[in-house]
Amino acid sequence: MQFHTLFSKAVPLLWYGSHVDKCEKLTRAPGGTRLCEASSIVVYKSSLLQILRLVACEVWDHLLHFVTLLTHRIIPCLDVKAGRVVKGVNFLGLRDAGDPVEIARQYDEAGADELVFLDITASHEKRDIVYDMVRKVAEQCFMPFTVGGGIRTIDDVTALVQAGAEKVSINTAAVVTPEIVRQTAQRFGRCATVVNIDPKRVPRDGFEERRAEREKQGLFAPHAVIPDGQPDDIVFEIHVHGGRTPTGIDAIAWAQYIVELGAGEIVLTSMDADGVKTGYDLVITGGVSSAIDVPVVASGGCGSPEHIRQVLTETDADAALAASIFHYGEYSIQETKQYLHEHGVPVRLTH
């Protein structure tokens, strides 16, 4: 192993900064015997073992990192409408800011690890335009990419794969007909089957009504799984149709279900964080990524490379998706990766 690789692994091993929060939470648990008190931290006997366990887990995690050099992926997401990239991409030297192929080629050159194309065309009649775009991208860009948006049936999935998408990402259709996830995995493999999950924080009362309604209809209606340390009057509910329609389905339980059906990757977009640029939603990203054993792509809320560092180190997310920070040239892919590398996050620097 090269020295710099070893070094970048050893630094986080010695640095337990990410534990401060967890430890504080434990030490602040009321009651029990106070063992010691230093500055603002009080250590209770009852929580000491738990702290030791946490530290042991973290050491194990980092030891494991020694033998898994899989890097974290940085993924720009492009919104496409009728075959054109919308919400503008503003690179230096881009001749056509709406041409998906040219933008993809630029990101390929810039060292993006993967691309996601999200088709937001309202009309289903214009699918051919999407297939044509996918074909052109696949023919000219030698990097991985995922295509999502507007998928309703297994035939839509098949057409996308035949056009050259190696991964397809299913969102609303997975909720309407979960069977499409199983069919996609059967036909094209688990590796090609990506499911988008769009959770949003909602009061428990409203959620319970919608959940009960689903249960009455005999649909998959699990009880809410509340991530660690969260108030249980708030539920992370899946929303569809671009975040407009609540479904009565809990995000963590849904993620587990959909992985069982055949999803090989989850793109998790927090509806609360999306577009706000104040950072990824670490709570739900942590909750989902630790509950399932397939890769999770964190999405929604990225405003800086530091946000990417947070979500990749403080949760089990495997990849980070971002749009505007890259599209508007606020940060380049390379400087983002350099920042992550300097902070001990394994990324692919050369390409």
Partner 1 sequence: MIGIIDYGMGNLRSVQKAFESLGSQATILTTPDMIDAQVSHLVLPGVGAFGDGMTHLRDRGWIDPINDFYKSGKPMLGICLGMQLLMDSSEEDAPSRDQPIPGLGMVKGTVMLFAGDAYGPGKLKVPHMGWNSLNIQQDVSLFADAPENPHVYFVHGYYCSPADSNVIIATTDYGSPFCSSLKQDNLWATQFHPEKSQRVGLKMLENFAAC
The residues binding partner 1 (CB under 8 A) are: 2, 60-61, 64, 67-73, 108, 111, 113-114, 135, 138-140, 142-144, 161-167, 186-192, 264-265, 290-295, 316, 318-319, 348, 350-351
233 is an active site residue: no
Place of tokens 């691309």: 115
The nearer residue to partner 1, 106 or 324, going by C-beta atoms, is 106
229 dihedral zone (left: phi>0; alpha: psi -120 to 50; beta): left
Q: How far is the CB of 269 from partner 1 (least distance, A)?
A: 18
Structure tokens at 184: 């996609």
The nearer residue to partner 1, 224 or 288, going by C-beta atoms, is 288
* Distance from the Cα of residue 156 to its chain's centroid: 23
198 is an active site residue: yes
Catalytic residue among 113, 119, 156, 198: 198
Give the start-end residues of each E strand in the chain: 34-38, 41-44, 73-81, 84-85, 115-119, 145-148, 167-170, 193-197, 199-203, 234-240, 245-250, 265-269, 296-299, 319-322
The nearer residue to partner 1, 1 or 122, going by C-beta atoms, is 1
Q: How far is the CB of 219 from partner 1 (least distance, A)?
A: 27
Q: How far is the CB of 161 from partner 1 (least distance, A)?
A: 6
What is d(CA 199, CA 230) in angstroms, rounded to the nearest whole number? 15
Q: How far is the CB of 335 from partner 1 (least distance, A)?
A: 18
Neighbours of 139 (CB within 10 A): 11
Give the start-end residues of each E strand in 7-83: 34-38, 41-44, 73-81
Q: How far is the CB of 86 from partner 1 (least distance, A)?
A: 25
Catalytic residue among 79, 119, 156, 272: 79
Q: How far is the CB of 69 from partner 1 (least distance, A)?
A: 5
The nearer residue to partner 1, 165 or 323, going by C-beta atoms, is 165
The nearer residue to partner 1, 116 or 221, going by C-beta atoms, is 116
What is d(CA 240, CA 254) in angstroms, rounded to the nearest whole number? 13
Neighbours of 323 (CB within 10 A): 22
Per the CB < 8 A criterion, the answer to whether 291 and 252 are in contact is yes
What is d(CA 103, CA 80) in angstroms, rounded to the nearest whole number? 11
The nearer residue to partner 1, 43 or 255, going by C-beta atoms, is 255
Q: How far is the CB of 333 from partner 1 (least distance, A)?
A: 12
Q: Which residues contact 83 (CB under 8 A, 6 or more apart)?
A: 100, 129, 130, 132, 133
The nearer residue to partner 1, 67 or 122, going by C-beta atoms, is 67
Buried b (16+ CB within 10 A) or exposed e, 165-180: bbbbbbbbbbbeebeb
What is d(CA 50, CA 23) in angstroms, rounded to the nearest whole number? 9
What amino acid positions are annotated as catalytic residues? 79, 198
